[in-house]
Structure 1
Amino acid sequence: MGNRLETSLTEDLLHALQEEHYVTIATVDAEKGGPSVSAVSWIYASDEKTLRLAVDQKSRMIRNVSEEPQAAVTVIAEGSTYTISGRVKVKKESLEKVPLKLSLLEMGIQEVKDVMFYGARLTNEPKFEKTYDEEAAVKLDNQVMEALKRS
């Protein structure tokens, strides 16, 4: 498909991002001024124009977006690769009812671009597994996702 441009999430991307999903987020490094990329799985699309991410309160992303709010999320879904760009703010310093010290970042979506190279379609999306206690991981993931939904 390649290089399709939207100003909000498509219905398929909205649904894909309403469950835990592997993405990367690129911010502008507050100290070096260059790109800083992080992998995140706690992401939730609250609507077609808004993404929420839970990150450690000590994450460099917090300082980065506080100084330069422009960021880009890369997501592999629906057989393609998309870059979702917009402005990010720290919506909550601390997520309630979550045992980890997490902050809530919120992105106002400005652009959604299909960046897959010409003539290709992805046949598999990235899969990941939590490497700590499986039961604890499921419980924590559920707590964080619920916090993202209600915030």
Structure 2
Amino acid sequence: MQFNGKAHKFGNDVNTDYIISGKYKFKTLDMKELAKHVMEDLDPDFYQKVASGDFIVGGSNFGCGSSREQAPLAIKYADVSAVLAKSFARIFYRNAINTGLPVVECDTDQIGQGDEIIVDLAAGVINNKTKGNVIPIKPLPAVMIKILNDGGLAAHFRKFGGFNFD
């Protein structure tokens, strides 16, 4: 899996209520509607700025807070390719994989706001075209890459009738 796009940088401890505010997630289950409000508490113009394939870049503990799947799903429906962070809250991390949203652990200090980057999950690197550097990423287990390639856990189960570890 390889993705190209622009970095939209946020800080540490971005909780799920910053990703999608509670004032929206209890009013609708329409993910396309929720996607219009992704990150708006931290950047009110985020949805207008983000282009298909771009990245959300965080610091440490990205996705802390609620265990609801709306946060990674709303990011995915905003057409973000992946979320890059130094570390993730574990339940957000698994919810992201399960919903088909790639999450990448790496040194995000080497990525600036607006940097053009290429994330190559297979090679285990991020190429920062803006800065001309290469950033190693923490590799994802093969089963998680398979789940992502299938579009998430539910799609993977439909395809194989359960987990496929081959």
Shorter-chain TM range is under 0.3
Larger RCO (CA under 8 A, 6+ residues apart): 1
Richer in strand (by share): 1
Richer in helix (by share): 2
TM-score w.r.t. length of structure 1: 0.26
